[in-house]
Amino acid sequence: MRIAVDIGGTFTDLVAVDDQGQIYRSKSLTTPDDLARGILDCLNGAKIDASQANFFVHGSTVTINAVLERKGARTGLITTEGFRDVYEIGRGNRPEGYNLFFKRPVPLVPRDLRLEVDERLYATGEVLKPLDEQSADATIGALKAAGVESIAVCLLHAYANPVHERRLGELLRQRFADVYVSLSHEILREFREYERTSTTALNSYVGPLVSRYLVSLEKLLGEGGFKGTFRVMQSNGGLMSAETAKKMPVTMMESGPVAGVIAAASLGESLDCRHIISFDMGGTTAKASLIKDFHPEVTSHYYVGGYVSGHPMMLPVVDIVEVGNGGGSIAWIDPAGGLKVGPQSAGAAPGPACYGQGGTEPTVTDANLIVGRVDPEYFLGSGIRLRRDHAAAAITEKIAKPLGMSLEEAALGILTIANFNMSLAVRAVSVEKGYDPRDCVLVPSGGGGALHAMAIARELSVPRVIIPPMPAHFSAFGMLLADLKHDYVQTFVRELSETTGAQIAGAFAVLEKSATDTLREEGAGPEQILLRRFLDMRYRGQEYTLPVPVMEDLRVLNNFDAIRSRFDQLHQEHYGHSAPKEPVMMVNLRLSALGRLDNRLPLASVARDGDGGERGKRPVIFDGAQGAIQCPILLRSGFKVGDCMDGPAVIEEVGATILLYPGDKMQVNEFGHLVIEVGS
CA diameter of the chain: 80
Domain assignment present for residue 232? The answer is: no
pLDDT tens, 547-556? 999 999 999 9
Residue 169's domain comprises 103-203
Flag whether pLDDT at 406 surpasses 80.
Answer: yes
Domain assignment present for residue 544? The answer is: yes
Mean predicted lDDT score pLDDT of the chain: 90
CB atoms within 10 A of CB 31: 17
Q: What local confidence, expressed as pLDDT, does residue 127 receive?
A: 96
Which of the four pLDDT bands, split at 50, 70 and 90, describes residue 10? confident
CB atoms within 10 A of CB 402: 13
d(CA 245, CA 239): 9
Check whether the bond before 632 is cis (ω within 30° of 0).
no
Choosing from 563, 595, 627, the residue where a domain stops is 595
Per the CB < 8 A criterion, the answer to whether 71 and 205 are in contact is: no
d(CA 490, CA 504): 11
Which of the four pLDDT bands, split at 50, 70 and 90, describes residue 613? low
Number of structural domains in the chain: 2
Q: What local confidence, expressed as pLDDT, does residue 629 receive?
A: 92
Choosing from 567, 595, 623, the residue where a domain stops is 595
Q: What local confidence, expressed as pLDDT, does residue 92 receive?
A: 85
Q: Provide mean pLDDT across the span 320-344.
A: 90
Domain assignment present for residue 564? The answer is: yes
Flag whether pLDDT at 210 surpasses 70.
Answer: yes
Residues paired with 466 in a beta bridge: 675
Domain assignment present for residue 449? The answer is: no
For the ranges 63-67, 167-171, 205-209, 530-534, which has the lowest average pLDDT? Answer: 63-67
Q: What local confidence, expressed as pLDDT, does residue 607 receive?
A: 41
In DSSP notation, 311-357 reads EEE-S-EE--EEES-STTEEEEE-TTS-EEEEEEE-TTTT--GGG-S
For the ranges 156-165, 219-228, 448-457, which has the lowest average pLDDT? Answer: 219-228
The burial class, CB within 10 Å (0-12 / 13-18 / 19+), for 428 is middle
pLDDT tens, 495-542? 998 899 999 999 999 999 999 999 999 989 999 999 999 999 999 999
The residue type found at 664 is D
Per the CB < 8 A criterion, the answer to whether 30 and 10 are in contact is: yes
Per the CB < 8 A criterion, the answer to whether 399 and 409 are in contact is: no
Domain assignment present for residue 651? The answer is: no
CB atoms within 10 A of CB 355: 24
Q: What is the CATH number of the domain that holds 555?
A: 3.30.1490
pLDDT tens, 126-156? 999 999 999 999 999 999 999 999 999 999 9
Distance from CA of residue 145 to its chain's centroid? 37
Domain assignment present for residue 337? The answer is: no
Which of the four pLDDT bands, split at 50, 70 and 90, describes residue 604? very low
Flag whether pLDDT at 648 surpasses 90.
Answer: yes
Measure the CA dihedral 458/460/462/465, to 10°: -60
Which of the four pLDDT bands, split at 50, 70 and 90, describes residue 603? very low
Per the CB < 8 A criterion, the answer to whether 92 and 39 are in contact is: no
Distances 580 to 387, 509, 565 between C-alpha atoms, Å: 65, 30, 8
Q: Using a pLDDT cut of 90, give the percent of the chain over it.
A: 64
Domain assignment present for residue 680? The answer is: no
d(CA 277, CA 503): 40
Choosing from 183, 203, 223, the residue where a domain stops is 203
Predicted structure pTM score: 0.86
Per the CB < 8 A criterion, the answer to whether 1 and 227 are in contact is: no
- Beta-strand (E) ranges in 98-228? 114-117, 120-121, 127-129, 150-154, 180-183
Domain assignment present for residue 491? The answer is: yes
Which of the four pLDDT bands, split at 50, 70 and 90, describes residue 447? confident
d(CA 367, CA 410): 8
Q: Using a pLDDT cut of 70, give the percent of the chain over it.
A: 97
Q: Provide mean pLDDT across the span 28-53.
A: 84
Q: How big is the chain by its Cα radius of gyration, in Å? A: 26
d(CA 258, CA 303): 15
